[in-house]
Every structure is written in structure tokens, then in C-alpha cells.
Amino acid sequence: MEVRVNNLTKRFGKTTAVDQINITFQDGKLTGLLGPSGCGKSTTLYMIAGLESATEGQIIFGDQDVTTWMPEKRNIGLVFQNYALYPHMTLRENIAFPLSNMKDPETGKKYTRQKRNEMVEEIAKLVQIENMLDRKPGQLSGGQQQRVAIARALVKKPDVLLLDEPLSNLDARLRMEMRTEIRRIQQESKVTTIFVTHDQEEAMSITDEIVLMKHGVVQQIADPHEMYLNPSNDFVASFMGNPPISYVDVQVKDGFAVLDNGMKLPYHTDYCGAAKMGIRPEAWAVGGDIGVKLTDVEMRGQDQVVSFALGKNRIRAILNAEEYVRSGQEIGLRLLEKRCYLFHPETGVRL
């Protein structure tokens, strides 16, 4: 089911947590709500869930305005950051709990015990916890609890699945594992999914589309490729990518971007005048006529991150691991123009 929010706004007293956002979450897709903490992404999710009321605007599921509906009427599944499993119930009881509160759409009566068990087992198989259904949540690891929480959210076949930072309580290795699991489960169940995270790598790796927010305002809505390769402003460019993009202040004219110290970088554009130029670390390659002196070299294995000064700006670049460079060394670099972006020096908007 497609989910739309129109001019959705949330104010807490005088502070505006979410400011007039318009988003369409496509049917059957996994959409990431991404942004730094306090950007309003979780508030947005909770408004969609109905656990927070909207100050202004509408929330539309399919063709129905659900803005003032109670959460239990919206047919959603929600996975909490700390899972919020019922600690006194077994996994089976946890997962069956939503079913015990609803009527079987086929018969119009309560689910039979047998039907309920079948549904629980089926969903347990999907999230791969079928052999531990009689345990209690306290006996499980974080990753397993996560699977139970997802199963509980999915068992009632919700129209929308909402995930609130579901991976943040896991250690690094499990996080990698679980994010591919979430992707797999989402693709198998084909449920419209909204996934809140503050981790850009997480968002890029598993989502179909990313909504990037800052201070309650949507910055850009795009698929991961588009978001990384074609950022709409300097915040988006900075937020996506690790190591982050570096900036230099330049004057652009005649196919060159000129730094304060007179250094010229080749850049072909119609624009002419002052700009903030963002250079992705992978835009650099060894062997060119831009001479720099390396101040720092971090070997990462598959590649290496080097730092150097360009005018008064510190630049980070990713170089091929095979190039043997040392800190203090002077080398010549060349620049891939298509990995450089020009932003307005004050507003930060992409030029």
C-alpha cells in the first residue's frame, strides 16, 4: 500500500520537530528515513504509526486519510528500537499476540488456535526463529530478539511495516548480518516498509529509496545512487559517503575553479562566479599535475585515505592501495570532474 504524507507538521510547544514535509512511500518498496539525531525522522515515523498526533497535515494510506485514526486501526507493524517484546511471554505468545486481538478476515470470527499457530510458524520460518518459539525474550541475543520483533510486526500481514532504528542496539557484525536479513524479509513479504536510521551506509545498502531529513525538513528524496551521485545540496553531499566529501571555496570561470591561493582545478561548467566546491574523496587519482604534499596516510587495506591541504582547506582522498605513499611526500594528483559538485556559497544549494 502506498503511503503519503502531505504537509505533515509536528510542533512540541515552540519547537518544530517536523516541518511541512511531503513524501510518497511507494508500494512494496523499502524506504529509508535518514538523518542526524533530532532531525524529526522518528517523530515522522511515530506520526505515521499513530503513536504521535500530527499538528498539521495529512497521512494517507492508499486512498484513505488515516491522520486521526487510532494506531490499532491502521493495520501497521512497528519494530521498536529496543524491540519492546513482552518479556513474560514466550516467542510464540509474543508473535501470536497481535492475532489474538483481531478477527480472521476469512471467517469474521476469532482466529482458531490452529490457524494462529500456523501463521506464527510460517512467519517464524521467514525470520528463521522456528526452533526457539518456546523460549522467552530474555534468553535470546539481540539479533534474535530483533527477528522476533519483526515477526510480531509482520504476522498480522500489515499494510505498512515501520522500523525505528532497528539495528542501533546490535554490534557491528550482527548489524551487517541483520540488515541483509531485513532486506531479504522485506523482499519476500513485499510489504511497504519505512526504515528509520541515522547511518547513511545502512540506508544506502538496503533501501530502494532514501528520504534525507535535517531539522524537520526534507532535504532530498532519491534512490541511493541518485542521492550519492547527484546531491541536491551540500548537507546531502556531506551526509552521504565515508570518508565525507571535502570542500574548497573557489571562483569558477573559463573551465577552471580557482582557489584563494591562485591554484587552478579544471572544472567545466556554464556557471560563473563564487562557489563552494565539494570534492568526493574518490575523485582523486595518482598521476596528474595537481601537486600536493600529503599530511596523513591511513591504510585501510583495500584502499588508503590520504589527507592534504588545498589552499587553507584540508582535503581527504581515497587512493589505490597499491600506490606506496608516505606522510610528508609530495605527489601529483588528477581530479575526476564528475565527482565534484558546486554549491551556492551561502545557501548550499547545488548550482
Partner 1 sequence: MEKVKTAKKEKQPKYRLVEMSDGTLRVRSAWAYAYILPAMALLLLFTLYPLVMVLRTAFYQKYIYITNTGTGFGMSSFIWVLKDPTFWMACKNTLILLLIALPITLVIALGAALLINSIKKLQGFFQTVYFLPYVTSTIAIGMAFLWLFHSDYGYINYFLEFLGIPPQKWLTDPDLMIVTLSIFSIWNGLAFKILLFLAGLQKINKQVYQAARIDGASPAKTLFRITLPLLSPTIWMVILVSVIYVARTFNEVYAMFVSYAGGAAGTGNAAITIMYYIYWMFYDQGKVNYAAAAAILFLIVIILITVVQRVVSKKFVHYV
Partner 2 sequence: MSKKNANDRQIRDSGSITLTAVKYVVLTIGALVMMFPFIWMLLTSLKTLPEAISIPPQWMPSDPQWVNYEYSWNLVPFGMFFRNTIWVGILSVVVTLVLSILGAYAFSIYSFPGHNLCFYLFMLTMMVPNEILIIQNYVTCSKLGMLDSFSGIVLPTVANGFYIFMLQEYFLQTPPSLFKAAKVDGCSNLKYLIKVVIPMNVNAIVTVAILTFITAWNSFMWPLIVTMSDEHTLLSVGLLRFRQASSSNLHNQMAAACIVLIPMVVFYIIFHKKIMEGVASGGTKG
Q: Which residues bind partner 1 (CB under 8 A)?
A: 49, 51, 70-72, 76-78, 80-82, 84-89, 97-98, 101-102, 136-138, 152-153, 156
Which secondary-structure segment (H or E) carries 204?
Answer: helix 200-206
Q: Judged by CB, which is closer to partner 1: 80, or 256?
A: 80
Q: Give me the least distance between CB of 42 and partner 2, in Å please.
A: 9
Q: State which residue, 67 or 233, has the beta carbon closest to partner 2.
A: 67
The entry of partner 1, partner 2, none near residue 128 (CB within 5 to 8 angstroms by kind) is none
Choose among partner 1, partner 2, none what residue 145 binds, the Cβ cut-off being 5 to 8 Å by kind: none
Q: For residues 53 and 48, what is the distance between their CA atoms, to the nearest angstrom?
A: 9
CB of 32: closest distance to partner 2 in angstroms?
Answer: 22
Ramachandran region, residue 324 (left: φ > 0; alpha: ψ -120 to 50; beta: rest): beta
Query: Residue 112 and residue 184: Cα distance in Å, rounded?
Result: 30
- What's the closest the beta carbon of residue 98 comes to partner 1, in angstroms? 4
**Contact partner at residue 77 from partner 2, partner 1, none, CB < 5 to 8 Å by partner kind:** partner 1
Least distance to partner 2, CB of residue 50, Å? 6
Choose among 15, 9, 28, 49: nearest CA to 196.
Answer: 49
CB of 144: closest distance to partner 1 in angstroms? 15
CA 301/CA 298 separation, integer angstroms: 9
Residue 152's binding partner among partner 1, partner 2, none (Cβ under 5 to 8 angstroms by kind) is partner 1
Angle at 175 between CA 126 and CA 237, to 5 degrees: 120
Residues near partner 2, by CB under 8 A: 11-13, 43, 50, 52-56, 67-71
Residue 100's Cβ-count burial label (10 Å; 0-12, 13-18, 19+) is exposed
Strand order in the sheet with 76-79: 76-79, 160-164, 192-197, 30-34, 209-214, 217-222
